[in-house]
Amino acid sequence: MKKFLKVCLMLIIFSPLITGFSSCRKDVSEIQNDSLGIQNNPSLKFTKHGEVYFLDSVKNFVKKIDVEIADNDDSRHRGLMFREDMSEDQGMLFIFQDEEVQGFYMKNTVLSLDIIFVNAAKKIIKIHRNTTPLSERTLSSVKPALYVVEVKAGFADKHKITEGCYIEWRRN
């Protein structure tokens, strides 16, 4: 975030000097993408880091998905932004340092998602279904969460994943 703010400040200061040199300018989306490590790659490819297993409320197996794991500030911030497609058996697992109320938004996310908040006991505590793409409205876990799983919209309903169900996960 500091890098992005620094770039914005530099643009404000130096924009009058570079407006005549179009080959030297970047538009704001390119600067945001660069600060997120995306660098003009509009169709990011899925990279499997692990698996998430969805279990019902008595811990019977329901469904397995392959996941990318976001376990640092940069990867958690980037999440599924700018992804144009994702299969039903793929998702992203966010792992946080501390169990606390989490808030997610859909900024720069063109896919509608189900966002599943999970506590330290790996119990699903909140699901935001069929989220609105590109929305900056905060979607809260309401209760403390240590994990968040993002899957394609409709996944939770299709597989009867509800609050009170559980997850297990493993890293490759």
Three-state DSSP class for residue 30:
helix
Identify the pLDDT of residue 117.
99
Q: Flag whether pLDDT at 29 surpasses 60.
A: no
Identify the pLDDT of residue 2.
52
Which residues have C-beta within 8 Å of that of residue 165, sequence separation ≥ 6? 54, 55, 56, 57, 62, 123, 124
Average pLDDT over all residues of the chain: 84
Per-residue confidence band for 19, with pLDDT thresholds at 50, 70 and 90: very low
Please tell me the distance from the alpha carbon of residue 60 to that of residue 44, in angstroms, as a whole number. 33
**Contact assessment for residue 112 and residue 133, using Cβ atoms and an 8 Å cutoff:** yes
Enumerate the CATH 2.60.120.1140 domain ranges in the chain, comma separated: 50-171
pTM: 0.77
Per-residue confidence band for 81, with pLDDT thresholds at 50, 70 and 90: very high
Burial 14-26 (b: 16+ CB within 10 A, else e): eeeeeeeeeeeee
End-to-end CA distance of the chain: 29
Q: Domain spanning 50-171: which superfamily?
A: Protein of unknown function DUF192 (2.60.120.1140)
Query: What is the bridge-based pairing of β-strands 61-70 and 90-104?
Result: parallel
Per-residue confidence band for 25, with pLDDT thresholds at 50, 70 and 90: very low
**Contact assessment for residue 68 and residue 49, using Cβ atoms and an 8 Å cutoff:** yes
